[in-house]
Amino acid sequence: MIELKNIDKDFITGDKEINHVLKNLSLTINDGDFITLIGSNGSGKSTLLNTIAGSLKPTRGEVIFDDIDVTKLKDYQRAGLIGRVFQDPNFGTIGDISIEENLAIALRRGEKRTLRWALKKENLKRYQEHLSSLNLGLEGRMKEKMSSLSGGQRQAVTLLMATLKKPKLLLLDEHTAALDPKTSIKILQLTDTLIKENSLTALMITHNLKDALKYGNRLIMLQEGRIIADFSKEEKEHLSVEDLYKKFDEDLNTESAKQ
Amino acid sequence: MKKTLRILLLGLFAASSMSLTSCKDDLIDIGILQVMTHDALNGARDGFIEQLKEEGFVEGENIRISKNAAEGDTATENSMATKLATSSDLVFGISTSSALALKSAVSDAEKETPVLYSAVTDPIGAGLIKSVTDHGNIVGTSDAGPTSKNIALFKEFAGITKIGILYNQAEPNSQVQKKECQKACDDLGLTLVDGGVTASNEIFSSLSGMIGEGIKGLFVPTDNLIASSMQALKETLIENKIVTVCADKASTDKGGTLGYSVDYTLLGKTTGKMAVRILKGEKISSITCSLSDSFPLEINEEFFTKTGLSLPDSLAKDKKI
Amino acid sequence: MNWSAVLQFIFTDAPTQGLIFAIVALGVFLSFKILNVADMSVDSLFPFAGIVSLSLINAGVPAFISLLIAVALGMIVGYINAALHVYLKINPLLASIIVMIALYTPNVIISKGNVTLLEGKNSIFMEVNSLFNNMIASKLVLLVLFVLVFFVAVYWFFGTELGLSIRASGKNDSMAKANGINTKKTYILGMILSDGLVSLAGALYGQMSKHFSADGGRGTIVIGLAIIFLGEVIFSSKSFKLSLLSLAIGGLIYWLIIDIIIEIPSFNTNYLNLTKAVFMTLVISIYELKKKLATHNNEENPTFMERLKRKIRA
């Protein structure tokens, strides 16, 4: 179980002005949850993800993984618990080295790296099996440089890398936003399959409200750094995209009425 | 790519087998190496060649001269030394690093090629020779100048109590001269400001710093790095009326005031005389390494004209004609 | 022209200079290609190692031990270089320049301008020479040995989990962190190895030339970079193994070219530096051109090398 307790995240902008991006945000992610997270630009979605991952330190509040307070841990210290897929396909992989080398790096995520040979034969077999399951023909191209793959292929491999060692939490930051519609669908289906097959806990940011409703067992709406709605699976099934828009507007009106 | 490499290698092999049949002509190969190109070193080189010519050794007739300058690059200097050690009958190194490089290259080639040197201030201290009489296959002339005599020049001018020294810290010749300069200053009651640098782009700021500290005089030892920059410093020295004593003629002429100078052309000729003795069959061991013994007082009139200072009478009589 | 002397020179000088500077290139490769920083400290570190090694031998330390000490000191310098960036947040290029300037002082103080191997003291090459009795053979054997050992060691190291993590950090810092890699530690380790290799080359060079002046390192990093680019132009960096091989061969070819230039009879050596600059510009432009052309389909848009190959075949 992952808990966020009273998270505030402030950024200081230029002239000593403070931008409160996350406001007293609390969230409990249960094991097995597949949460889709939506919100307008600037609502704090990426900041939230980065705070969970440790790339950003919260101004106030705690991040807890299975009763262990990880708030003070740096991102690379927490990385063993978390698998990440970024929006930019180039971000989660290294183009200059081979596919198998990328996978080897991911395999040791969170583990001590020693002078053991990185590309052991047993592991190479594993990679081949995993890559074949993607059905992209990549299992025969393991020694090729990652840069020779298309954006969609790279994201597929990134997904694989993020789940090679089972993470406590899979973070997906609009990971299909940079892909064409057809590839986007493939990657989302792959995501869904991987999460189900490995019983992963996942948090996925998406811009696409339809996808947000379609995937996952829980939908969270973020606006101006606050969680304004948290729908369960049953509730989601009855919602439409218009309902979501209405909810955003409602909340905005309520907030401005407050001020 | 592999094929092109193969063709290249074949070509080189062909050339090398051709070389087995190529004959070595009767010209004596003389290799000259200097660390960089500037007046003093060039003066020594030209004096050397001139002396050889005077005594009957002429380029193209009975000798072939290879001139090499490393332009301050150590790795290139070492390669050039190796090249000369392989192909020369006699080599001449102008400056400490060139002489050392030649010594090393000749011993590595397991030869006894005579190594002549010039413009080395302290050949014993630099490890070039053991003593002026015990020196193996190495012989030459040192440009150790009369530092104390030069520092004494400052006393001839009224009001100079603090002087600076501009030199390359990485140049062993200069380290030696700096020590001598310090001793002379202590003896004469002058304050010495250390303006040591390691690169030519530091020279100007070092000088400005010393002027800021109130120096009224500047000593420039025989130093390859500073010598190449004297022209650029002239304006500043004249503007600030800094009496600049230089240990080599070319530097005085380019931007200094005066100085008992080492005449590099003369040094080159003396070395040339040694080379001739060797070429004529004399054993190197019978030649003594020498120091320069003639130090004419060189005066740069321009400094006096432009600053309005006047040459002390005591020196006017020493003036070189 | 005395061809036998010319060839003897080129074939004895190019390999020895080439092998030592191949080690320099290996060190610079680690900092430039893997850590993405032009390590200017190399210009002072190269002579520093040579000066330390020679001074130690003169003081009675055995040649091989003096080599180890010089390398150890070089690794400490590498640590400082990295720490300036990692802990004090100084820009890595600036940090390397600070180290370069800082090393001037010990260089000058220890060498007093210039160190020479004293009579009666032995360099590591002279000690090996007692076996072969042929200086050139001794140099070549020893240098080939060092190059083989260290190139293989570097190749092996960067294939380990730790080595791979260093490469990853240099190429994509965020990705590395997301995979649990402490990129500060990997940067430091990489710099220590890089400077250690440069020091090894410097100490070997000092012992080989038997003298070293305090400013004898000027231009070392340029030679290292030139060899890296030359290697890439000739071999293209398809794999890590090939990249390393290209350094060794690049070093040999670089010195082959310099030695050929030195041998040109009427060549005015005043132009040597300009020639080097022109040569480097040529090499780097070909390298960039190759990169551009490589992104096109090779069949339709053959690279210059490809076309040359085909012409030769035809």
Q: How confident is the model at residue C310 (pLDDT cuts 50, 70, 90)?
A: low
In a domain, C299, yes or no: no
Q: What is the pLDDT along chain B (321 residues), one digit of tens a residue?
A: 566 666 666 666 555 554 444 445 788 999 999 998 888 899 999 999 999 999 999 998 999 999 999 888 899 999 999 999 988 999 999 999 999 999 999 998 889 999 999 999 889 888 899 888 888 999 999 988 889 889 999 998 888 999 999 999 988 889 999 999 999 999 999 999 999 998 888 999 999 999 999 999 999 998 888 988 999 999 999 999 999 999 988 889 899 999 998 888 989 999 999 999 999 999 998 888 887 777 888 889 888 888 888 888 777 766 543
pLDDT for res C301: 45
* Yes or no, beta carbons of C181 and A92 under 8 Å apart: no
Largest CA distance in chain B: 78
* Chain center to CA of C195: 10
Question: In this complex, is the C-beta atom of C217 within 8 Å of any C-beta atom belonging to chain B?
Answer: yes
Q: Are B51 and B114 within one domain?
A: yes
Contact list, A167 vs chain C (CB under 8 Å): none
The ranges of chain A with pLDDT < 50 are none
In a domain, B196, yes or no: yes
Which of C8, C218, C308 faces B72 most closely, judged by CB atoms?
Answer: C218
In a domain, B5, yes or no: no
Full-model pTM: 0.86
Range of the domain at B300: 147-261+296-316
* Yes or no, beta carbons of B69 and C223 under 8 Å apart: no
In a domain, B229, yes or no: yes
Q: Are B247 and B278 within one domain?
A: no
pLDDT for res A73: 92
Dist CA A226 CA A219 (whole Å): 14
pLDDT for res B193: 95
Into how many domains does chain C fold? 1
Dist CA C240 CA C157 (whole Å): 12
Q: CA A10, A15, A18 angle in degrees (round to 5)?
A: 15
- The CATH number that applies at residue B242 is 3.40.50.2300
* Yes or no, beta carbons of C262 and B168 under 8 Å apart: no
Enumerate residues 6+ apart whose C-beta is below 8 A from C304: C286, C289, C290, C293
pLDDT for res B285: 87
pLDDT for res A188: 93
Q: Are B32 and B140 within one domain?
A: yes
State the nearest Cα–Cα gap between C161 and chain B, in angstroms.
34
Tell me the Cα Rg of chain A: 19
Dist CA C27 CA C37 (whole Å): 12
Can chain C be said to touch chain A, i.e. do they have 3 or more Cβ pairs within 8 angstroms? Answer: yes
Enumerate residues 6+ apart whose C-beta is below 8 A from B185: B151, B163, B191, B192
State the nearest Cα–Cα gap between A162 and chain C, in angstroms.
9
pLDDT for res C314: 52
Which of B18, B83, B174 faces C262 most closely, judged by CB atoms?
Answer: B83
* Yes or no, beta carbons of C308 and B108 under 8 Å apart: no
In a domain, C305, yes or no: no
* Yes or no, beta carbons of A79 and C183 under 8 Å apart: no
Question: In this complex, is the C-beta atom of C290 within 8 Å of any C-beta atom belonging to chain B?
Answer: no
CA dihedral (C296, C302, C306, C308) positive or negative: negative
In the predicted structure, residue C299 carries a pLDDT above the cut 50: no
Contact list, A115 vs chain C (CB under 8 Å): 157, 160-162
Q: Which of C1, C7, C103 to mutate to test the interface with B (most CBs of B within 10 A)?
A: C7
State the nearest Cα–Cα gap between B69 and chain C, in angstroms.
6
Q: Are B95 and B225 within one domain?
A: no
- The CATH number that applies at residue C197 is 1.10.3470
User: Mean pLDDT across the stretch C24-50?
Assistant: 96
Partnered with residue B33 across adjacent β-strands are B68, B93
Contact list, C226 vs chain B (CB under 8 Å): none
* Yes or no, beta carbons of C182 and A91 under 8 Å apart: no
State the nearest Cα–Cα gap between C279 and chain A, in angstroms.
28
* DSSP 8-state assignment for residue A238: T
Nearest CA in chain C to A102: C168
Across the A:C interface, residue pairs with CB atoms under 8 Å apart total 86
ipTM value of the model? 0.88
Which contiguous run of DSSP H or E holds residue A197? Answer: helix A181-198
- Residue B164 identity: G
* Yes or no, beta carbons of C162 and A114 under 8 Å apart: yes
Contact list, A82 vs chain C (CB under 8 Å): 178
A 10 A CB-CB count for C98 gives 17
In a domain, B12, yes or no: no
Question: In this complex, is the C-beta atom of C223 within 8 Å of any C-beta atom belonging to chain B?
Answer: yes
Q: Order the strands of the B217-220 sheet from edge to edge.
A: B191-197, B162-168, B217-220, B243-246, B258-260, B297-299
Q: Are B125 and B161 within one domain?
A: no
State the nearest Cα–Cα gap between C214 and chain A, in angstroms.
38
Nearest CA in chain C to A93: C175
Which of C135, C211, C305 faces B1 most closely, judged by CB atoms?
Answer: C305
Which of C3, C17, C108 faces B18 most closely, judged by CB atoms?
Answer: C3
Q: How confident is the model at residue C276 (pLDDT cuts 50, 70, 90)?
A: confident
Dist CA B198 CA C215 (whole Å): 7
State the nearest Cα–Cα gap between C186 and chain B, in angstroms.
32
Nearest CA in chain C to B26: C2
In a domain, B32, yes or no: yes
- Chain mean pLDDT for chain C: 89
Q: Are B38 and B84 within one domain?
A: yes
Which of C3, C136, C214 faces B19 most closely, judged by CB atoms?
Answer: C3
In a domain, B6, yes or no: no
Which of B15, B37, B79 faces C7 most closely, judged by CB atoms?
Answer: B15
pLDDT in tens, C163-214: 999 999 999 999 999 999 999 999 999 999 999 999 999 999 999 999 999 9
Cβ–Cβ < 8 Å for C305, C250: no
Range of the domain at C189: 3-270
* Yes or no, beta carbons of A118 and C183 under 8 Å apart: no
Cβ–Cβ < 8 Å for B265, B294: no
* Yes or no, beta carbons of C3 and B12 under 8 Å apart: no
* Yes or no, beta carbons of A80 and C174 under 8 Å apart: no
Q: Are B171 and B213 within one domain?
A: yes
Dist CA C149 CA B127 (whole Å): 33
pLDDT for res C295: 64
Contact list, B100 vs chain C (CB under 8 Å): 114, 116, 210-211
C 131-190: CB under 8 A from B: 135-136, 139
State the nearest Cα–Cα gap between A8 and chain C, in angstroms.
23
Q: When comparing pLDDT for C262 and B63, which is higher?
A: B63
Chain C adjacent subunits, 3+ CB pairs under 8 A: A, B
Contact list, C48 vs chain B (CB under 8 Å): none
Across the B:C interface, residue pairs with CB atoms under 8 Å apart total 147
User: Mean pLDDT across the stretch C213-240?
Assistant: 88
C 250-279: CB under 8 A from B: 255, 258-259, 262-263, 269-270, 272-273
Nearest CA in chain A to C295: A148
Q: Are B198 and B242 within one domain?
A: yes
Contact list, A75 vs chain C (CB under 8 Å): 177-178
Nearest CA in chain C to A98: C239
In a domain, C205, yes or no: yes
Strands A169-173 and A82-85: parallel
pLDDT in tens, C127-156: 999 988 888 899 999 999 999 999 999 999
In a domain, C277, yes or no: no
Can chain B be said to touch chain C, i.e. do they have 3 or more Cβ pairs within 8 angstroms? Answer: yes
Q: Are B282 and B229 within one domain?
A: no
Establish how many alpha carbons lie within 13 A of residue B136's alpha carbon, considering only the half-sphere containing its beta carbon: 18
Which of B12, B24, B76 faces C2 most closely, judged by CB atoms?
Answer: B24
In a domain, B119, yes or no: yes
Into how many domains does chain B fold? 2
Contact list, C181 vs chain A (CB under 8 Å): 76, 79, 105, 113
pLDDT in tens, C39-93: 999 999 999 999 999 999 999 999 999 999 999 999 999 999 999 999 999 999 9
State the nearest Cα–Cα gap between B172 and chain C, in angstroms.
4
In the predicted structure, residue C300 carries a pLDDT above the cut 50: no
Contact list, A117 vs chain C (CB under 8 Å): 159-161
In a domain, B185, yes or no: yes
* Yes or no, beta carbons of B104 and C8 under 8 Å apart: no
